[in-house]
Amino acid sequence: MLILGKNIKFFRKQESMTQEQLANLLKLDRTTVAGYESGKHEPALPILVAIADIFDVTLDELLGRD
């Protein structure tokens, strides 16, 4: 899911947020967020929902669906 990782990074940077800050909000390690952004790992559904809520976007937007 490369698009998901790119979108997480895009929305995070749009909010001037570091990986560490996002990780803290999600109660995860920074390396986990880095893994999501690089596409090495995929977040579970509850984490996807939390990320969408943090950035005030829909899951479709986060997943790159039009």
> Residue 55 belongs to a domain with what CATH number?
1.10.260.40
> How do residues 14-26 score in pLDDT, each as one tens digit?
999 999 999 999 9
Contact criterion met (CB below 8 Å) for 33 and 26: yes
Residue 17, number of CB atoms within 10 A of its CB: 17
> How do residues 45-63 score in pLDDT, each as one tens digit?
999 999 999 999 999 999 9
Query: How far is Cα 29 from Cα 27, in angstroms, rounded to an integer?
Result: 7
Full residue range of the structural domain in which residue 54 is found? 2-63
Interacting residues of 13 by C-beta distance below 8 A, sequence separation 6+: none
Number of domains in the chain: 1
CA atoms within 13 A on the CB side of 66: 0
